[in-house]
Structure 1
């Protein structure tokens, strides 16, 4: 199938960081030029956010969380043609990009097909090891880890059990350190699922060099190493892996190390597809380019991202990171624009690395910004998220910026996000927190007058408006009722004024200026009076109940604000409100307390509240006391 030639056609091969970045900007630059078409070709219909593969491999986010559909990215760009196909070669003589199912003419082509893991021919890596160079490999690794932990949990043989429950990562670059950190984050939930002692799951980082994380300043790398060791990750430096087998690996010093999960992250190279284009290749198979990002073989073929090799700044080429991909793409599109305008493509590649950030799980990271700002912990992770989100701003995708925010902060499980689960939709009801705090504050504010002064409920002065307690009273809503308003209604003086007033009470669910609110019950129902007389038969008991109720109301308020035993506090709020209604001490305009209290009962104490720690602790403690500790194996001492 051969497509008709437009006046100017730019073909971008590869929807990676560089390809998507370039396509978005080219589309915007030429959006008013009907003679320019940008064709983006990729074997997948989506862009994979490659720097977050470790999050998929360690089950932090859903599998599709780092897949961004190309249609959603480019649906508003009418000058962009999307093609899902695999490119086989570039026919430079006829200026055609050939795929398995078609051919696409070009005036300029931008090649950004990325990189893949490099095992340097180490025996056994392909057969028994795992790499992390694609979405599919991340899924495969996740399924494998779950499988070996499942099998290890019921393995009786101590040696096999140790191998199955040992996870090893080789290489301490960005991918290696982020992978080991994320897998360690997964340990507790894995152990709980398969009824294991978490300490049995071991994690080891192996590095051939005498130091780890050599892309960072030593101070930042040392902080990261200390954190890993503190988390129980074994760091083995000066350790080379020379062979991988089923259940163990061979080390350079002649020893072996037991593991059924070896993850190789010790190097990358240009994707093997690069050889198909018959362009000059350099170190690690990367295609050699000049300072304008043009192939040294053809000035109409631009090569960007990890697959390009520019040795103007280092004989090792530019770092294969996102910042380098974006910089090379920007250089290429600037030069293509110049060529299309009849100018000399003389824009040189400029290395601009604003910093390096490495995460070690969902809550801790290290960062070096601008070469002088060093961050660790919460702020380093926050900066990493901000930089990731900045990419979506750069490619003009509000939709996926929102999606990133959701899956990193709101859709995570087992507290694995920067806010330690407080804002995760999986474990709490975040949006009920303001209602919880407001309801608690209302209890405290309306109890304030009850604890001191002449209105105090702690002096022996009758506040409850029940007729049998005060024979001289003319009704349950008379002068005695002036001192007996519920804490919830907050209408102490208003109750007396309302009872004495001849104005008509108005039914409403909100206060209406100049009108008297209607009580739910003006007079306590007979059945409620009969029950109440049993519990409060005389004034002495009434004095005790007044003090006790006030203390309970204050405790309810404090518990709701602190998020402690929120389910109980919410339930008691509902119960007290119902009692106040039936006692003739409550207005319709305050009935909102019941649905609000019910809403707070749905886990709101686990978001920015003490229930996040207290409830799981109590569940674990009482569950263990009552049922004992579940195990994967009973009557076996294999460890």
Structure 2
């Protein structure tokens, strides 16, 4: 049976989600070709952050090779669609022709200027990466020119920025400009009050598709941040140095006025992609959106293998097309893919039913509003939810790379306090200052591991030098005979007496401390009570005291686990000895990694885990808890300063990235 040929047009949210689903389900039954003008998927909901310079443009680009290139049944093509030959079942692009059995048209939407004169020539849209970068350059150019302009009126016009439209895109864009304004004024030696931000909206309210209560909160927040909300202002024309607005509510007399400005960011509407006209499919009543039935098939071409999804789709629900949002794009993509699969594998098709969980709007980097189900979120919690959704999306893509990239750029590498945590998580310290701590910490583990491996375990740096076999006997009461118990009791009694009289210098070690506690318990069983031993609890050490262990022996839940893996048999005893050696060599490996600065993130995390293990099994005192915060601190790339990680990590990222994702390119061609 020959493989079916499936062509997906457009690598937006709809196209990528559909391609992933088709690839996973039709592993050996189809050859899938994904065609897009770009070699990456654009995260549309992050474009305002790029335009205002909060994150690098790469943060909003998901390279298709990293998302899909490792799938053997998917070919990537960077090209523009010219025509869809429905009779010949061919997709014609600028540079090639592709046969298909099934085609999914998901070429997205584009801004709608509603025919307002001058918008195309002088306005800046925000619908692509190119748009975002043009806005960024325009903002920088206006600041540069205004900083040396002596004409007050012209200077004011240069520093007036108009955002047309108060939908999600417009409000998120002006929100970013609130944060940007503070930085821009400082960098160009301007007064922040000189920079004017206008939201120009023809309706009497803003965010009209959002819950009204949350929308009003956003309105109040914007006014508090000195943003001018110009409602009942309809833009009628745009020129290079001003916009013309018609002021007045519906049913009232309108007054026309001009607002001097060199920057108009147009976010007022979205329509289907005009390239859809080239495919000669049936459109809806307006907006260049392709009409689709309940199964996401192109109306008029049912049964011919032509499906539609995403913003270009005009599927009608209750007399209105589905919203042009991310959730709708992904859900229409999934529906179209599922029905293509049903045609190929046999099965019942299912209808599209939009299920939208909520809406979120960021108003700058630190504040937002959201409605999730019936829950309203405002401020920090709304932004936290938005960041969580982005992380969840990267995880759904199964991309640890983009998950890490998003978190890095949004939280840890964000400048000027422009993030959810107001900059507290974004300080870039020089890891060189961690070098002495890394060496000290590595030596601490080394001096603890070496005596255990080479047999001289009476003294060790950490003090947790008890062998696992002895530890289990003394704390759990298994893996020993009555004769061994008696001998152990006598041995620990001797140490307890020495500790009580101060005759033993070993009282200063955690090892002795644990033995003292064991001795008290063992002697009590034999009717001998010792009351003058009182271990000191605390995270500091005082000379002449016995540090208290974190737990009083092995907790019962831990004993139950240990007894399963190490029963009271000769085999269990051998397992305990084996684990003792393994743990000692693990400590040695972690110590060497820390000292030489190799895999320091993993090594530091490993030491933190081991410390917690020791702490919860009675092998560690409160004094030694400093190991955990030190390990966390050293996870911050400490091996890249006078360490092997400076060369090892970049090399591994290059080699493993190429092996897993393949080589990323600016232009992809069919395999």
Query: 2:318 and 2:306 mapped to 1: Cα distance?
Result: 21
Alignment partner of 1:276 is 2:281: no
Given candidates 101, 110, 126, the residue that maps to 1:116 is 110
Corresponding residue for residue 422 of structure 1 = 424
Relative to structure 1, the CA distance from residue 290 to residue 428 in structure 2 (aligned partners, 3 Å threshold; closer, same or farther) is: farther
* Match in the other structure for 2:288: 285
Matches within 5 A, 1:462-501: none
CA distance in 2, matches of 1:98, 1:240: 41
Shift of 1:395: 2.7
The corresponding residue for 2:191 is: 197
From 289, 303, 306, give the equivalent of 2:311: 306
Classify the secondary structure of the residue corresponding to 1:186: helix
Q: Which one of 180, 194, 200 corresponds to residue 186 of structure 1? A: 180
Q: SS of the counterpart of 1:392?
A: helix
Counterpart CA distance in 2 for 1:47 and 1:124 is 30
Q: Would the alpha carbon gap of residues 256 and 431 (structure 1) be closer, same or farther in structure 2, given more than 3 Å must change?
A: farther
Structure 2 unaligned blocks of 5 or more:
247-254, 442-498, 513-623, 639-671
Q: Residues 350 and 418 of structure 1: is their aligned pair in 2 closer, same or farther, counting only changes over 3 Å?
A: same
Alignment correspondent of 2:119: 125
User: Any idea what the Cα deviations from partners look like across 1:197-238, whole Å, max 9, x if unmatched?
Assistant: 111111110110011100111100000001101111110100
1:296 aligns with 2:299: yes
Matched, 1:208 2:212: no
1:451-500: CA deviation from partner (whole Å, max 9, x where unpaired): xxxxxxxxxxxxxxxxxxxxxxxxxxxxxxxxxxxxxxxxxxxxxx9xx9
> Is 1:353 the counterpart of 2:356 in the alignment?
yes
Aligned partner of 1:60 among 50, 54, 67: 54
Q: Choose from 198, 219, 222 the match for 2:216.
A: 222
What's 2:339 paired with? 335
What residue is the counterpart of 1:483 in the other structure? none
* Residue of structure 1 equivalent to 2:488: none
Aligned to 1:472: none
* Counterparts of 2:163 and 2:53, CA distance in 1: 17
Q: Which residue of 2 aligns with 1:323?
A: 327
User: 1: distance between equivalents of 2:19 and 2:428?
Assistant: 36
Per-residue CA deviations over 1:517-559 (Å, capped at 9, x if unaligned) read: xxxxxxxxxxxxxxxxxxxxxxxxxxxxxxxxxxxxxxxxxxx
Match of 2:77 in 1: 83
Report the Cα offset of residue 70 of structure 1: 0.7
After superposition, the C-alpha distances for 1:552-582 in whole angstroms (9 at most, x for unaligned) are xxxxxxxxxxxxxxxxxxxxxxxxxxxxxxx
CA distance in 2 between partners of 1:357 and 1:307 (Å): 22
Partner of 1:17: 13
In 2, distance between residues paired with 1:502 and 1:409? 52
SS in 1 for 2:361: strand
Give deviations 1:139-196, integer Å, cap 9, x for gaps: 0100110110111122111110110011110101111000010011111111111001
Residue 29 of structure 2 is aligned to residue 35 of structure 1: yes
Report the Cα distance in structure 1 between the residues aligned to 2:66 and 2:39, rounded to whole angstroms.
Answer: 10
Change (3 A) 1:52 1:13: same
Output aligned runs, 1:386-425, within 5 Å: 386-425=388-427
TM, length-normalised to structure 1: 0.66
Does the 8 A contact of 1:65 with 1:407 survive in 2? yes
**CA displacement at 1:319 relative to structure 2:** 0.8
What displacement does 1:398 show?
2.6
Counterpart CA distance in 2 for 1:264 and 1:251 is: 14
**Residues 412 and 426, structure 1, Cα contact 8 Å, conserved in 2:** no
- Which secondary structure does the structure 2 equivalent of 1:374 belong to? strand
- State the secondary structure of the residue aligned to 1:209: coil
Separation in structure 1 between the aligned mates of residue 278 and residue 214 of structure 2, nearest angstrom? 40
Judge conservation of contact 2:69–2:75 (CA < 8 Å) in 1: no
Q: Which runs of 5 or more structure 1 residues have no equivalent in the other structure?
A: 440-496, 505-509, 515-589, 605-639
Check whether the contact 1:413–1:427 (CA below 8 A) recurs between aligned residues.
no
